[in-house]
Chain A
Amino acid sequence: MTTFELVTLDETAARPQALGGRRVLRRLRRNPLALAGLIVVVVAVILAIFANQIAPFAPDHTNFSAALTPPSAKHWFGTDELGRDQLSRVLFGLRVSLSVAALSVALSLVVGVPLGLAAGFYGFLDPLVSRVADTLLAFPFLILAVGLAAILGPSLGTATIAIGVGNVPAIIRITRSEALRLRGLDFVAAAVADGASDFVVLRRHILPNAVNTLIVQATVAAPAAIIGEAVLSFLGLGIRPPNPSLGVMLASAQPLFRDGPWLAVLPGICIVIVTLGLNLLGDGLRDALDPRESPR
Chain B
Amino acid sequence: MGRYVLRRLLESAVTFVLVTIVVFVGVRALPGDPARALAGEESDPASLAQIRKSFGLDEPIPLQYVHYVGNALHGDLGRSSRTGLPVATTIRQALPVTLQLAIFAVVIAALIGLIAGVVAAVRRRSAAEWAANSVALLGLSVPSFWFGLMAVLVFAIAYPILPASGFVSVFSDPWQSFRHLLMPAVVLGSALAAVIMRQTRSAMIEAMSTDYIRTARAKGLGGRQVIFGHALRNSLIVVTTIVGLQLGALISGAVVTEQIFVLPGFGKLTIDAVFTRDYPMIQGVVLVTATAYIGINLLVDLLYSVIDPRVRVGGAAL
Q: Which residues of A contact B (CB under 8 A)?
A: 131-132, 134-135, 137-143, 146-147, 149-151, 153, 223, 227, 230-231, 234-236, 250, 253-254, 257-258, 261, 264-265, 268, 271-272, 275-276, 279-280, 283
Q: Kindly list the 7 A-B residue pairs having the minimum CB-CB distance in the complex, ordered from nearest.
A: A142-B252, A140-B248, A268-B146, A140-B251, A276-B141, A275-B141, A135-B18
Beyond A139-B19, A257-B152, 7 extra complex contacts between A and B, CB < 8 Å: A143-B251, A143-B270, A235-B259, A254-B149, A268-B146, A271-B146, A279-B137
B282 CB–A CB distance under 8 Å: yes
Q: Which of B24-32, B38-46, B167-175 contacts A (4 or more CB under 8 A)?
A: B24-32
* Residues of A close to B255: CB separation below 8 A: 142-143, 146, 235
Question: Could you list 24 examples of A-B contacts with CB < 8 Å?
Answer: A131-B18, A132-B18, A135-B18, A139-B19, A139-B22, A139-B289, A141-B249, A143-B289, A150-B274, A231-B143, A234-B145, A234-B256, A235-B255, A236-B275, A250-B145, A250-B146, A257-B149, A257-B157, A261-B153, A268-B146, A272-B143, A275-B141, A276-B137, A279-B137
- Set A235, A254, A268: member contacting B271, Cβ < 8 A: A235
Q: How far is the CA of A79 from the CA of B260 in the complex (A)?
A: 23
* Residues of B close to A132: CB separation below 8 A: 18
Q: A135-B15, A142-B255 are in contact. Are A149 and B274 (CB under 8 A)?
A: yes
Q: A143-B270, A254-B149 are in contact. Are A135 and B19 (CB under 8 A)?
A: yes
Q: How far is the CA of A112 from the CA of B274 in the complex (A)?
A: 28
* Residues of A close to B31: CB separation below 8 A: 151, 153
- Set A139, A253, A261: member contacting B290, Cβ < 8 A: A139
- Set B142, B153, B297: member contacting A264, Cβ < 8 A: B153
B132, chain A: closest CB distance, angstroms? 14
A171, chain B: closest CB distance, angstroms? 14
* Residues of B close to A143: CB separation below 8 A: 251-252, 255, 270, 285-286, 289-290
B242 CB–A CB distance under 8 Å: no
Q: Which residues of B contact A (CB under 8 A)?
A: 11, 14-15, 18-19, 22, 26, 29-31, 137-138, 140-143, 145-146, 149-150, 152-153, 157, 247-252, 255-256, 259, 267, 270-271, 274-275, 277, 282, 285-286, 289-290, 293-294, 297
* Residues of A close to B11: CB separation below 8 A: 131, 134
Q: Are B26 and A147 in contact (CB under 8 A)?
A: yes
* Residues of B close to A276: CB separation below 8 A: 137-138, 141
Q: Are A151 and B29 in contact (CB under 8 A)?
A: yes
Q: How far is the CA of A231 from the CA of B146 in the complex (A)?
A: 9
Q: Are B271 and A146 in contact (CB under 8 A)?
A: yes
- Among residues of B, the one whose C-beta sits closest to the C-beta of A250 is B146
* Residues of A close to B267: CB separation below 8 A: 142
B58, chain A: closest CB distance, angstroms? 23
Q: How far is the CA of A141 from the CA of B274 in the complex (A)?
A: 15
Q: How far is the CA of A139 from the CA of B18 in the complex (A)?
A: 12
- Among residues of A, the one whose C-beta sits closest to the C-beta of B21 is A135
- Set A138, A253, A264, A279: member contacting B293, Cβ < 8 A: A138
- Set A147, A149, A257, A271: member contacting B286, Cβ < 8 A: A147
Q: Are B294 and A138 in contact (CB under 8 A)?
A: yes
Q: A140-B289, A223-B140 are in contact. Are A147 and B149 (CB under 8 A)?
A: no
* Residues of A close to B14: CB separation below 8 A: 131
A283, chain B: closest CB distance, angstroms? 8
Q: How far is the CA of A143 from the CA of B251 in the complex (A)?
A: 8
* Residues of B close to A147: CB separation below 8 A: 26, 274, 282, 286
Q: How far is the CA of A27 from the CA of B22 in the complex (A)?
A: 46
- Among residues of A, the one whose C-beta sits closest to the C-beta of B248 is A140
Q: How far is the CA of A231 from the CA of B282 in the complex (A)?
A: 20
A175, chain B: closest CB distance, angstroms? 15
Q: A142-B255, A146-B270, A276-B137 are in contact. Are A265 and B143 (CB under 8 A)?
A: no
Q: A142-B255, A143-B286, A265-B150 are in contact. Are A230 and B270 (CB under 8 A)?
A: no
Q: Are A140 and B249 in contact (CB under 8 A)?
A: yes
Q: How far is the CA of A265 from the CA of B137 in the complex (A)?
A: 19
* Residues of A close to B145: CB separation below 8 A: 230-231, 234, 250
Q: How far is the CA of A131 from the CA of B16 in the complex (A)?
A: 10
Q: How far is the CA of A147 from the CA of B24 in the complex (A)?
A: 12
Q: Are A142 and B152 in contact (CB under 8 A)?
A: no
* Residues of A close to B289: CB separation below 8 A: 139-140, 143
Q: Are A279 and B26 in contact (CB under 8 A)?
A: no
- Among residues of A, the one whose C-beta sits closest to the C-beta of B143 is A227
Q: A140-B251, A150-B282, A271-B146 are in contact. Are A257 and B274 (CB under 8 A)?
A: no
Q: Are A141 and B150 in contact (CB under 8 A)?
A: no
* Residues of A close to B153: CB separation below 8 A: 257, 261, 264-265
B116, chain A: closest CB distance, angstroms? 16
B107, chain A: closest CB distance, angstroms? 20
Q: How far is the CA of A138 from the CA of B294 in the complex (A)?
A: 6
* Residues of B close to A261: CB separation below 8 A: 153
Q: Are B256 and A142 in contact (CB under 8 A)?
A: yes
* Residues of B close to A257: CB separation below 8 A: 149, 152-153, 157
Q: Are A138 and B274 in contact (CB under 8 A)?
A: no
- Set B18, B142, B146, B274: member contacting A146, Cβ < 8 A: B274
Q: A258-B157, A271-B143 are in contact. Are A131 and B15 (CB under 8 A)?
A: yes
Q: How far is the CA of A142 from the CA of B141 in the complex (A)?
A: 18
* Residues of A close to B137: CB separation below 8 A: 276, 279-280, 283
Q: Are B282 and A268 in contact (CB under 8 A)?
A: no
- Among residues of A, the one whose C-beta sits closest to the C-beta of B194 is A279
Q: How far is the CA of A138 from the CA of B289 in the complex (A)?
A: 8
Q: A146-B271, A150-B282 are in contact. Are A134 and B15 (CB under 8 A)?
A: yes
B165, chain A: closest CB distance, angstroms? 12
